[in-house]
Structure 1
């Protein structure tokens, strides 16, 4: 199925995709802050520049978009059917890079949690997931 947008419109849409301070990320930060935890954001010294870092607890949290990081089994992770060579290469690289960052962080002694964009839709369940991770 070809793209429903003209190239100029698609370019405009893609230019608005954020890498930091996304709505799901802000929600997770808000929930953690309300639980009484304090954290640092986007620490450049750590592999993958985690979205949320709790240095004293040696914990990091990534808030991943289901599409960009290919959340397995999620309907929001469907790959485009046009320009497939480009998208497959890009999304496969993202998966490999994420896996490498996770391994490096764990090797350095960090506990890692990945929160998927689709998980932010159920705040109660997300809050419980965050509470379990941060209190362990």
Structure 2
């Protein structure tokens, strides 16, 4: 099955792949020169990942650290740029190492061109997961 190409549909598809823990398929949604940014990343963590290979390396072990169960409260907003959406959501699940609950609110600004994600700015609060046992250095998160 080919991936959807509208930004909103592609984003929903990407969330399903994360829930399935299918990181290779999630990475395949990216353009080769895609850019992933974390404007609120704490010191010592990447704020910018350039290219599909860097994004793949960053996400490779994500399911080993966070077991996502769902993305409730998903709201996708269109922008004046038909290739760009703003998504508001929560990611819920558990921290694998400690079995602690995981519940994080996100805002993402995502641009899709030619059926691939070209830009993803991920606004999340790193302070919200302090004390949960997530190994930021090991997972990139």
Which range, TM-score by smaller chain? under 0.3
Q: Which has the higher strand share?
A: 2
Q: Which has the higher helix share?
A: 1
Q: Which has the larger radius of gyration?
A: 1
